[in-house]
Structure 1
Amino acid sequence: MSAPEPAPARMAALPSWLLTQSALHAHRLVSEGLADVGARGYHYRLLATLAEFGPASQNTLGRRSGIHASDLVATINELADGDCVRREPDPGDRRRNVISLTTAGRRRLRRLDTALARVQDRVCAPLSAEERGELTRLLRTLLAHHTAEQDPGPE
């Protein structure tokens, strides 16, 4: 396989272009790393959300994890088939389900954390520990800024 052609200098000087290109590579590496352990990114997002916030309705889980409703049910089904999550009727509203993390789900999340730690090492390989910390801080700042721009707040 030949080396990719260099980008035009004016593109390579744009932070937005650099972020996009880096995100594409990171997404590919994350997908491959999770696939190596029989998982998908949605599995990690759902398990991590349940671990941090506790049991929740499907609607709440979708909002917290950023998983669209059309993908959420399939993800819950896959994790339930692996005994990683439990789906039970909400005692306050029997029409709604509450999803909770099982012991097997906690173990699965720890394995996915390990797999993703290896991926992070690949993604950030040329950076020192200090540079990785600074990059994470800067990316959080950008994300917080743009997330706040999208949130209209109370009306």
Structure 2
Amino acid sequence: MATPNTLIFVDMPSDDPAAAGRFYAEVFGWQNDARPEGVYHRMVPGGQFPNPDGTDSAIGNLHLGIFDVANARPHPEPAGVEPRALSTDGRKPRIWILIGDDDTPERILSAAEERGATILWRDHYWSTFKGYNHAFRDPWGSEILLWGKAGADPAVPASFTRE
């Protein structure tokens, strides 16, 4: 049987990967693995994907990379190539983060905002996937959407927007 193509990593741009690495370590509690410092930072969430019964599976959580827009590595050209600036116009990829059972969207949004993020929205229910979501833009322009499990028959607070 053939092995499927598998998503293994997502990279986000930054003009200061060291600061972005600290931001995500402080906001989400992830390990900031500089490879090397200021050039490329691998954010390691830790833990394993859960089995249906809640025990750890053999599959580790995906990692997130932060690369320097001035010289995005890896690349065959040692000095990198253009563009060398953050994209500021239009839509960009959005990164979805599942809120851990021991955390809250309020704490995450507060920690992000204290570190320079812009809150995009709070308290929204998406019925198609039965989840609560909230979003912020990090100081480098990446959009982070927080996902909270709502369950099969959620009691959506009246104050939440819905779709």
Calculate the TM-score normalised by the size of structure 2: 0.23
Identify, as 1 or 2, the structure richer in helix.
1
Of the two structures, which has the highest relative contact order with CA contacts closer than 8 Å and spacing of 6 or more?
Answer: 1
Identify, as 1 or 2, the structure richer in strand.
2
